[in-house]
């Protein structure tokens, strides 16, 4: 048990650590303000403890240190980091913050304070919180930077949380916070957030890869040293001041390569990269980086397809670097990153470092970040946008790689990879996008759906008669284009809907039927619509035969389809039939109604033994997903209030269908061996089997019925022992 005196000492040391870690000079007044904010936070959180049992004040102290040391923020941000949880968790109000620390600090704290409210099935409090957070971007990006520091410390201390909480927070982090850190240029924070999220969401895979990295560490270090020696020698000879270091790729990045390329860990060569950081004045940065590139390629052959020049064309978030991949003497590809000290600082610290160098009078090009900010502002200001649509549109551009495009006059535009001519038109101006009918790419006429390539020169063709169409949403990828198209279509649909309403009112007047809610319900039932607006829209489009209304009984201006009590009874019985159990009761969900229908989600096909959770759907009871389901991250991030813990009953006796995929060398009798193991040794029933052999290599899939995950894993291990089979995996 730690004594109160020891805790006080720990807190004071942590505070001093924050001050020491600050890289930006501060005045006496700023130091006093930092001390004042620390005292206010210390007093406000004095009786609070974290889940780990430590004093709560250590959390804001840790967040402040991340802001100072890892992001490079200044005194105002440190004050806000100390105070970031006071309004939400203590009796301190925003008015108190304003009186004590001024309006600027109050606005940042307001942006950081989580949005409270009750959960329901049409809106997520967390999604609304994200939107509120984004509202502050155009005003003060420090809100987002402090929020990322807060999330990073929470992820570092996530082990003390309950399993379901860990999965929710990790999913949310992977879904939004890591991409956001990437977009803001905070690459080291982005990598750590991804790594920690992956650790908690995929423990087995994470442990397996980290174990293999640990075993191969000595071999990698020897290889890196041998690879770097000739480059170092030549850099020294030419008088360069530099730092050279090897960097192992993060676990999620390695796992993506394993999955996307369909290879084992041992077959991945580029699990590390070499970084050369040159200490060079701003006016010589570019030429020095290219000189270093020339030296590297004197010793090793470069892959011309893998050269990335982000020095001539920096990314929108300010990232500058020269990337190349070269072949080593041992036949392994090695990625080499070349950048200046300033570029490395911006790459690691993101916007905070970029602003520091700009304010220091460095002759930097204008970052594309301001343009991105203005696009976010437009998204936010569109009140018609649904919160989840906003999140999806916002997130879609966070991680995207970029291409560089030119107008006929030579102006440079940066867009995501796979952007179309229509995306380009909307990036020029909303009105240009809305009236776009085609484009000339490199003087050649192309349709608006044409996918652009880096270096293209685009001239947009417009017409005053053109209007946005719903089909456009199928090929635009930028959030700005999607948002504007949706907004215009909604406005068009609202206008058409009003026309349809007028047509229906005239028809009812001719039939001497009152226009009221009860009659509208009968008409909706007649045409099988759930809501009025869609009915009105289809009427205006001429898709509805209104003469059918005569088939309904009309008495005194009212419509009758039959006994109201009978209708209620029928709908109630259908509801009971829908939600009561039709399958075996195989799940237990804490907090769930035992009468609800539990169904297996087809997206991940869970088996007994898999770690699972329940998700409450709107119309289909509870769906059971695997914890590592491809959709789990998004469900937990956006709809955490609809997640139920679930587990398999131990007395399960039903078989579940699952799939196995094989690859290997096509030997005689191999198929017979596979079927003997499955049918005779393991007594497993097969639903289907499909093999395809080409030039001596085969690929096959088998759908079979198993009782649980253990039985499936035993089967996979036995199949792997067959001579000729290279790989056996469960179909996702």
Where in the sequence numbering do the catalytic residues fall?
Answer: 88-89
Instruction: Collect all residues with Cβ–Cβ distance below 8 Å to 511 and sequence separation of at least 6.
Output: 549, 550, 554
Give the list of residues 6+ apart from residue 493 with CB closer than 8 angstroms, or none.
533, 537
The one-character DSSP state at 121 is S
Bridge partner residues of 278 (DSSP): 242, 340
Q: What tokens appear for 571 in the block?
A: 């709908």
- Cβ neighbors of 618 (< 8 A, separation 6 or more) are 121
Q: How far is CA 391 from CA 193, 479, 487, in A?
A: 19, 10, 15
Closest CA to 269 of 327, 211, 321, 324: 327
Report residue 319 as tokens.
């990232």
Cα 311 from Cα 15, distance rounded (Å): 39
Residue with tokens 């004095």: 46
Q: What is the CA radius of gyration of the chain?
A: 31
Whole-angstrom Cα distance, residue 102 to residue 79? 11
Residue 660 host element (H or E): strand 656-665
Contact 500, 536 (CB under 8 A): yes
Could you tell me which residues come within 8 angstroms of residue 401 by beta carbon, excluding any fewer than 6 positions away? Answer: 416, 417
Q: Are the beta carbons of 541 and 496 closer than 8 angstroms?
A: yes
CA angle 359, 361, 366 (to 5 degrees): 75
Maximum pairwise Cα distance, the chain: 101
Q: 515 CB contacts (<8 Å, ≥6 apart)?
A: 504, 505, 508, 509
Q: To the nearest 10°, report the CA torsion of 577, 583, 586, 587.
A: -30
CB 705 within 8 A of CB 656: yes
Q: What angle do CA 15, 21, 23 make, to 5 degrees?
A: 135
Beta strands 558-560; 598-600: pairing state: unpaired
- Tokens for 145, please give them: 């930077």
Could you write out the three-class secondary structure of 362-386? Answer: CCCCCCCHHHHHHHHHHHHHCCCCC
> For residue 110, what are its two tokens?
């307001």
- Letter string b/e over residues 558-573, b meaning 16 or more CB atoms within 10 A of that residue's CB: ebeeeeeeeeeeeeee
Backbone angles phi, psi at 182, to 5 degrees: -60, -45
Sequence-ordered alpha helix ranges (H) in 45-85? 58-65, 75-83
Q: Give the length of the chain.
A: 732
Do 592 and 622 form a contact (C-beta atoms < 8 A)?
Answer: yes
Which two structure tokens, joined as six digits, stand for 162?
């309950």
Structure tokens at 11: 């807190």
Q: How far is CA 388 from the centre of its chain?
A: 13
Helix (H, G, I), strand (E, B) or coil at 565: helix
Q: Which two tokens stand for residue 356?
A: 């520091």
Dihedral sign for Cα atoms in the order 587, 590, 592, 593: positive
The answer to whether 715 touches 676, Cβ cutoff 8 Å, is no
């Amino acid at each position: 048990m730690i004594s109160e005196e020891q805790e006080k000492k720990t807190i004071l040391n942590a505070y001093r650590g924050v001050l020491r870690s600050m890289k930006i000079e501060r005045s006496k007044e700023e130091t006093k303000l930092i001390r004042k904010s620390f005292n206010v936070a210390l007093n406000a959180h004095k009786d609070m403890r974290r889940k780990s049992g430590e004093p709560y004040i250590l959390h804001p102290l840790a967040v402040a240190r991340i802001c100072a040391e890892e992001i490079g923020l200044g005194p105002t941000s440190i004050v806000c980091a100390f105070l970031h949880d006071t309004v939400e968790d203590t009796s301190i109000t925003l008015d108190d913050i304003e009186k004590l620390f001024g309006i600027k600090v109050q606005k940042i704290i307001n942006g950081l304070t989580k949005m409270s409210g009750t959960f329901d099935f049409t809106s997520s409090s967390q999604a609304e919180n994200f939107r509120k957070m984004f509202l502050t971007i155009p005003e003060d990006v420090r809100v987002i930077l402090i929020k990322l520091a807060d999330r990073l410390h929470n992820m570092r201390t996530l082990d003390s949380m309950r399993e379901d909480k860990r999965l929710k927070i990790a999913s949310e982090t992977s879904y939004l916070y890591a991409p956001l850190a990437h977009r803001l240029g905070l690459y080291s924070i982005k990598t750590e957030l991804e790594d920690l999220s992956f650790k908690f969401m995929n423990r087995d895979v994470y442990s397996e890869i980290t174990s293999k990295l640990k075993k191969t560490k000595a071999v990698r270090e020897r290889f890196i040293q041998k690879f770097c020696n000739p480059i170092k020698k030549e850099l020294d000879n030419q008088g360069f001041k530099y730092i050279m270091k090897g960097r192992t790729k993060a676990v999620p990045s390695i796992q993506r390569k394993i999955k996307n390329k369909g290879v084992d860990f041992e077959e991945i060569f580029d699990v590390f990269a070499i970084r050369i950081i040159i200490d060079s004045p701003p006016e010589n940065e570019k030429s020095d980086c290219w000189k270093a590139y020339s030296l590297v390629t004197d010793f090793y052959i470069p892959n011309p397809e893998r050269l990335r020049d982000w020095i001539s064309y920096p990314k929108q978030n300010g990232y500058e670097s020269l990337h190349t991949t070269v072949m080593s003497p041992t036949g392994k590809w090695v990625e080499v990153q070349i950048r200046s000290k300033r570029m490395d600082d911006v790459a690691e610290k993101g916007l905070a470092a970029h602003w520091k160098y700009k304010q220091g009078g460095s002759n930097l090009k204008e970052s594309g970040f301001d343009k991105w900010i203005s696009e976010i502002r437009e998204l936010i200001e569109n009140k018609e946008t649904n919160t989840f649509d906003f999140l999806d549109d916002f997130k879609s551009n966070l991680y995207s790689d970029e291409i560089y495009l030119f107008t006929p006059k030579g102006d440079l535009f940066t867009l995501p990879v796979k952007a179309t001519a229509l995306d380009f038109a909307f990036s020029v101006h909303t009105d240009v996008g809305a009236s776009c009918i085609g484009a000339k790419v490199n003087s050649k006429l192309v349709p608006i759906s044409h996918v652009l390539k880096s270096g293209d020169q685009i001239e947009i063709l417009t017409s005053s008669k053109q209007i946005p169409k719903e089909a456009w949403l199928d090929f635009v990828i930028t959030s700005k284009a999607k948002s504007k198209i949706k907004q215009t279509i909604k406005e068009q649909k609202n206008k058409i809907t009003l026309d349809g309403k007028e047509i229906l009112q005239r028809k009812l007047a001719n039939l001497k039927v009152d226009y009221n809610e009860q009659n509208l319900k009968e008409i909706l039932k007649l045409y099988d619509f759930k809501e009025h607006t869609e009915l009105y829209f289809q009427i205006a489009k001429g898709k509805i035969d209104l003469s059918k209304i005569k088939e309904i009984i009309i008495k005194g201006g009212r419509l009758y389809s039959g006994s109201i009590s009978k209708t209620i009874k029928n709908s109630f019985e259908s509801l009971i039939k829908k939600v009561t159990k039709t399958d075996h009761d195989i799940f237990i969900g804490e907090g769930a109604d035992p009468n609800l229908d539990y169904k297996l989600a087809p997206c991940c096909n869970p088996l007994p033994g898999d770690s699972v959770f329940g998700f409450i759907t709107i119309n289909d009871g509870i769906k059971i997903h695997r914890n590592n389901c491809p959709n789990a991250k998004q469900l937990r991030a956006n709809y955490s209030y609809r997640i139920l813990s679930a587990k398999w009953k131990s007395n399960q006796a039903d078989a579940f269908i699952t799939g196995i995929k094989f690859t290997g060398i096509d030997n005689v009798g191999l198929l017979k061996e596979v079927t003997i193991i499955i049918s005779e040794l393991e007594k497993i029933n097969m639903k289907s089997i499909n093999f395809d052999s080409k030039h001596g290599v085969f690929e096959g899939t088998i759908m079979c019925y198993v009782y649980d995950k253990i039985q499936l894993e035993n089967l996979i291990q036995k199949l792997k022992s067959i001579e000729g089979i290279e790989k056996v995996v469960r179909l996702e």
